[in-house]
Structure 1
Amino acid sequence: MKVVILPDSFKESLSASEVAKAIYKGFYSVFPNAEYHLIPLADGGEGTLQALIASNGGKVESIEVTGPLYETVQAKIAFSKDHKTAFIEMAEACGLHLVSLERRNPLQTTSFGVGELIIYAIEQGVSELIIGVGGSSTNDGGIGMATALGYQFFDENGNAIESNGEALLKVVSMSDKNKSPLLDKVNITIAADVINPLTGTNGSTYLFGPQKGLSTDRLAEVDQAMRSFYSIAERFLDKSVSEIPGSGAGGGMGAGLMLFANATIKKGIELVLEQLNVKEVCKDADIVIVGEGRMDGQTAFGKAPVGAAKCAPPDAKVIAICGSIGDGIEELSNHGIDAIFPTIPSIVPIEKVLENAFENIERTARNIAILLK
């Protein structure tokens, strides 16, 4: 029996690699003679850098950049073995994990550090740059990143604006006269973890703002500010990006990279699956196990479990293991997933759930294996 284990991370508790090990441990206790393949995945969000660099044997560096609350943070950046390609994960510079629960507010966070990572990569001589956009604490439309690249944004009095989410409420004009010429030396590909548009009820603010700390009574105001900002920027640069699928990824970073850095966009999970040759590994699998921390109706929109499920052969069982489930979960049966098993065992504080994530996943995997046996 061949078992392929293809999980994404369980955010704020376990990396994709740790999740894969927990699933393997549970299954191995029941099926010790099975053939196992553990391939940790990412979909453009947290863990993308580690997943991509694993495919080519490159190296990882850590540099100081501006964090989401303007503090200095250490952010990882990876380079391919031939040093022609760099891999950046925006969450390294402005991820949700870098902001404590009580300080989460996307009006106050910035993506400036992402722009610093981009400049650093180009200065190292790369010609290709892959950027995972997801897992961010920001909803600034990429204005922070653009500012780091040399763009300037001004309020109604002609004053330069601080480059955070709140800036979107104030921008009336911009300039690109100081834009870094280094941008002309690199091709940038976005690995997006969602396919949502930039604005509207399916856009970055309404769907992801609340989990980043935005109060629901400000959703309409901030969404309109994002729309207004892009109306100004698209008109100035004579380019339209806000309706492109994935433009809402990373709090609008998808749109920001396309508009300000001339990037192209691709579903993050498709890019990762291609780099890791997952379809070839799965071609004769009997069981394919996918998963992420929370699965709901949004999982169908470009997330890792659905992308990985598509790699399974028609006669394989595709099983999902997740921390919790939400509304719309039934839709996933139409995307190749046969059954979904949440791992939370009882009503306990979230801190306890995160602390025991490995054991919860291992136990769930073992029970699934016993059922299959």
Structure 2
Amino acid sequence: MKFVLAPDSFKGTMTAATVAATMSAGVRDVFPDAECIEVPMADGGEGTTRSLVDALGGEMRTVEVSDALGRSRTAHFGWIAAKKLAVVEIAEAAGIEHLTVEELDPHQATTVGVGQLLNHIIELSPAQVIIGLGGSATNDGGWGMAYELGAIVKNSSGNPIESRALALADAANLDTSGISERWQDVEITLACDVDNPLTGERGATAVFGPQKGVQPEEIALFDAALAQWGNLLDETSGRAVSKNPGAGAAGGLGAALMALLGAKPQRGIDVVIHAVSLEDQLAGADFVFTGEGSMDYQTKFGKTPWGVMLAARKQNIPTIAFTGNLGRNVESLHENGFAAIIPTVREVGSLTEALEKAQPSLRESVRMACRILAAARHTEKF
């Protein structure tokens, strides 16, 4: 029998690679001769870099960059030398997770650190770069990143503007001649699960600005600054990138990446499925096991288990999901979806205890599912 084990991480307890290995061990407890294909997965959010590095045999690398407020921090990215593929999450540099609530400041927050990350990556001469958008503390439209890459923006008087969000209101000219031509030979994919444009009532500022510290009375100011920036990006690229779905991701960073580096957005789970060649791995499989730490009705909106199930369904392979926390309205996930969803918490106790036992509990849950499959196989009912 062939099992494909394609889970996401169980956040706070196990990486996707550890989950896949634990599932594999549970399968072999019952089917010792089974072929187990371990494919660590992610959906473009936190953990995507680690999952792709584990799945593709790459390595994690570090580089010193600036955080959203200009402070030095060590950022991580993935490098898969065999594919000349770099994988990076912009939150490693400009992440809101690195700031306290009191530190949130959209006036000063910048994506300069993202540019520093990309400057380091281009020195590796990559053929492909996957960039995970999400979790940013910035609302500068990617201007800080553009500045660090070599772009120059001047006002109507011909003077360079500052590298901060509201300075973009005075932007009149964008010079991209300082951006390395090497980027023209790089295929850049944005793992992006939002479809917001750069500006307007569904734009970066109106939808995401408040969580980054933009005050209600400032929304129009920031939106107008990004609109001016968007006009320059559209003019420079010859395309209306500011209107593209995903242009408003990461405080408008999506628009800058599309316009200046030719990046193309895709749903995060689709990016990972393609990168790890999941559909090829599924060929000839009898069952697919997937899962993540928590699942509920929202799982079908681009989360890893749902994406894996859809890929398996194309090849008529049943998918069983495992999860530590089974949330609301999961019944909808069974409709044209999972063959079964199995919670892994095995006894009443505290959250701390559940997290401590997560790995052995998962292995036992997989073992139990396989015993049921073995019984059904014995009676020839599948």
- After TM superposition, the score normalised by the length of structure 2 is 0.74
Classify 1:139/1:102 alpha carbon distance in 2 versus 1 (closer, same or farther; 3 Å). closer
Q: CA deviation at 1:262?
A: 2.7
Classify 1:77/1:318 alpha carbon distance in 2 versus 1 (closer, same or farther; 3 Å). same
Residue type of the alignment partner of 1:230? L
- Is 1:132 aligned with 2:131? yes
Classify 1:245/1:348 alpha carbon distance in 2 versus 1 (closer, same or farther; 3 Å). farther
Classify 1:185/1:261 alpha carbon distance in 2 versus 1 (closer, same or farther; 3 Å). closer
- Is 1:261 aligned with 2:268? no
Classify 1:220/1:256 alpha carbon distance in 2 versus 1 (closer, same or farther; 3 Å). farther
Take 2:206 and 2:128, find their aligned partners in 1: how far apart are those partners?
29
Q: Given that residues 299 and 305 in structure 1 are in contact (C-alpha distance below 8 angstroms), is that contact kept between their aligned partners in structure 2?
A: yes
Q: Given that residues 62 and 77 in structure 2 are in contact (C-alpha distance below 8 angstroms), is that contact kept between their aligned partners in structure 1?
A: yes
Take 2:52 and 2:35, find their aligned partners in 1: how far apart are those partners?
24
Partner of 1:176: 174
Take 1:242 and 1:347, find their aligned partners in 2: how far apart are those partners?
50
Partner of 2:231: 235
Classify 1:60/1:202 alpha carbon distance in 2 versus 1 (closer, same or farther; 3 Å). same
Residue type of the alignment partner of 1:146? A
Q: CA deviation at 1:182?
A: 0.5
Partner of 2:15: 15
Classify 1:29/1:137 alpha carbon distance in 2 versus 1 (closer, same or farther; 3 Å). farther
Residue type of the alignment partner of 2:229? A
Q: Secondary structure at the match of 1:320?
A: strand
- Is 1:43 aligned with 2:39? no
Task: Give % identity.
Answer: 32
Classify 1:181/1:52 alpha carbon distance in 2 versus 1 (closer, same or farther; 3 Å). same
- Higher mean alpha-carbon deviation, 171-180 vs 231-240, is at 171-180
CA RMSD, aligned part only? Answer: 4.1
Deviations 1:60-79 (A, max 9, x none): 53221113443322223444
Q: CA deviation at 1:17?
A: 0.9
Q: Secondary structure at the match of 1:312?
A: helix
Q: Secondary structure at the match of 1:65?
A: strand
Take 1:205 and 1:16, find their aligned partners in 2: how far apart are those partners?
33
Runs (5+) with no aligned partner, structure 1: none
Residue type of the alignment partner of 2:265? I
- Structure 2 counterparts to residues 138-157 of structure 1, below 5 A: 138-140=137-139, 141-151=141-151
Residue type of the alignment partner of 2:341? I
Q: CA deviation at 1:117?
A: 1.4
Classify 1:185/1:258 alpha carbon distance in 2 versus 1 (closer, same or farther; 3 Å). closer
Classify 1:253/1:181 alpha carbon distance in 2 versus 1 (closer, same or farther; 3 Å). closer
Partner of 1:111: 111
Take 1:201 and 1:26, find their aligned partners in 2: how far apart are those partners?
49
Q: CA deviation at 1:39?
A: 0.5
Take 2:310 and 2:221, find their aligned partners in 1: how far apart are those partners?
37
Take 2:218 and 2:360, find their aligned partners in 1: how far apart are those partners?
40
Q: CA deviation at 1:143?
A: 3.8
Q: CA deviation at 1:178?
A: 6.6
Going by fraction, where is helix more abundant, 1 or 2? 2
Q: CA deviation at 1:276?
A: 2.0
Q: Secondary structure at the match of 1:308?
A: helix
Classify 1:91/1:274 alpha carbon distance in 2 versus 1 (closer, same or farther; 3 Å). same
